[in-house]
């Protein structure tokens, strides 16, 4: 694996796969905000590097490394970031070759996701001595190892509301690897419907369901949330505020009267904006981790009840 600043390679290197990244050094206090901006600019994923990570960031700062599908998209993101914050000095990097694809696996080890559930990648042996459920997970290129704060916040919300999860049909909007749908099933849900606009994520969800012998209880597809006909007693949406807000009407319409909606992917300063988009729902809890917050909301038992103001 070779990572370097962009340069001109000789013709014989043209056939080697090249993957564009944008690197930007930011203060720790701004890392989550700038990470969200990178996603807004088209990033497919963002890695954070600092003094505590195996690959170190710039001393005294957090280095964000965002992957983009094309060089043109990466260049456009750099231009936008540097126009807004020239002091961050966003720059292009490229990964040359394919060895990087499996490099991350050596750092993905079994871990406790929430009380009662351990996540284990397929390549790591693990024996539980506590009687906890083991969820075998291969995220592939889909979001959702369970290590990110936004995912663990939803898993913990499901654990907190485990009595409601029992026997329920759960909808997971933006399912990624399928981890949250599978957690719900491990906690006793009868069935999980999982939707994502990325066909690759749907494929990964189905693979992970089969790994855990739960494929008969999972329906995963690319149906847009607005086209889902049913309502559900529990709906999960771990996406981002920039998606949760415009999709509020469609997501809200999928929650059955009296049902539970758990929203994540929300930065702390975005809480009020998200709550306004779901104004008819009661806020039950809003736990946070780092700069992220999850919102557990209750739909009114009477759909005609007046909206909260």
Residue 14 pLDDT greater than 70, yes or no: no
Give residue 15's pLDDT: 59
* Gyration radius from the chain CA atoms: 20
Beta-bridge partner residues of 133: 117
Residue 112 pLDDT greater than 60, yes or no: yes
Give residue 10's pLDDT: 46
Dihedral angle computed from the Cα positions of residues 31, 37, 38 and 44, in that order, rounded to the nearest 10 degrees:
110
Query: Can you read off the two tokens belonging to residue 11?
Result: 């013709």
Distance CA 240, CA 262 (A): 12
Give residue 51's pLDDT: 78
With 0-12 CB in 10 A as exposed, 13-18 as middle and 19+ as buried, what is 36?
Answer: buried
pLDDT tens across 267-298, in order?
999 999 999 999 999 999 999 998 899 999 99
pLDDT band at 91 (very low <50, low <70, confident <90, very high): very high
Q: Which residue has the tokens 């700069």?
A: 291
pLDDT tens across 243-276, in order?
999 999 999 999 999 999 999 999 999 999 999 9
The number of C-alpha atoms within 13 Å of 65 and in the hemisphere containing its C-beta is: 18
Distance CA 208, CA 230 (A): 24
pLDDT tens across 30-82, in order?
888 888 889 888 887 788 888 777 667 788 888 998 888 889 999 999 999 99
Give residue 102's pLDDT: 57
Measure CA 208 to chain center: 16
Distance CA 166, CA 162 (A): 6
pLDDT tens across 167-214, in order?
999 999 999 899 999 999 999 999 999 999 989 889 999 999 999 999
Residue 125 pLDDT greater than 80, yes or no: yes
Give residue 9's pLDDT: 42
Give residue 2's pLDDT: 37
Say whether pTM exceeds 0.85. no
Distance CA 242, CA 40 (A): 8
Structural domains in the chain, CATH included, are 2-99 (3.30.70.120), 144-298 (3.40.50.150)
Tell me the percentage of the chain whose pLDDT exceeds 90.
Answer: 56
Residue 305 pLDDT greater than 60, yes or no: no
């Amino acid at each position: 694996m070779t990572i370097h600043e962009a340069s001109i390679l000789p013709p014989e290197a043209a056939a080697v796969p090249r993957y564009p990244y944008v690197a930007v050094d930011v203060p720790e206090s701004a890392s989550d905000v700038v990470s969200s901006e990178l996603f807004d600019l088209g990033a497919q994923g963002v890695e954070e590097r600092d003094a505590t990570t195996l690959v170190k960031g710039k001393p005294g700062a957090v280095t964000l490394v965002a992957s983009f599908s094309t060089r043109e998209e990466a260049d456009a993101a750099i231009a936008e970031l540097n126009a807004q914050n020239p002091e961050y000095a966003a720059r292009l990097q490229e990964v040359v070759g394919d060895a990087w694809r499996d490099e991350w696996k050596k750092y993905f080890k079994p871990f406790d996701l929430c009380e009662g559930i351990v996540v284990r990648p397929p390549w790591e042996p693990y024996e539980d001595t506590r009687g906890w459920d083991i969820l075998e997970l291969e995220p592939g290129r889909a979001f959702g190892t369970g290590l990110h704060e936004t995912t663990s916040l939803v898993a913990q919300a499901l654990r907190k509301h485990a009595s409601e999860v029992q026997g329920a049909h759960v909808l997971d909007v933006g399912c990624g690897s399928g981890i949250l749908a599978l957690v719900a099933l491990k906690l006793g849900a009868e069935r999980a419907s999982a939707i994502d606009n990325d066909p690759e994520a749907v494929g990964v969800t189905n693979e992970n369901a089969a790994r855990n012998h739960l494929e008969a209880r999972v329906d995963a597809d690319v149906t847009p949330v607005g086209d889902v006909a049913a309502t559900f007693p529990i709906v999960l949406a771990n996406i981002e505020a920039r998606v949760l807000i415009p999709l509020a009407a469609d997501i809200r319409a999928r929650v059955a009267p009296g049902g539970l909606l758990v929203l994540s992917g929300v930065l702390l300063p975005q809480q009020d904006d998200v709550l306004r988009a779901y104004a008819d729902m009661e806020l039950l809890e809003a736990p946070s981790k780092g700069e992220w917050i999850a919102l557990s909301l209750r739909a009114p038992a009477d759909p005609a009840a007046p909206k909260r103001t």
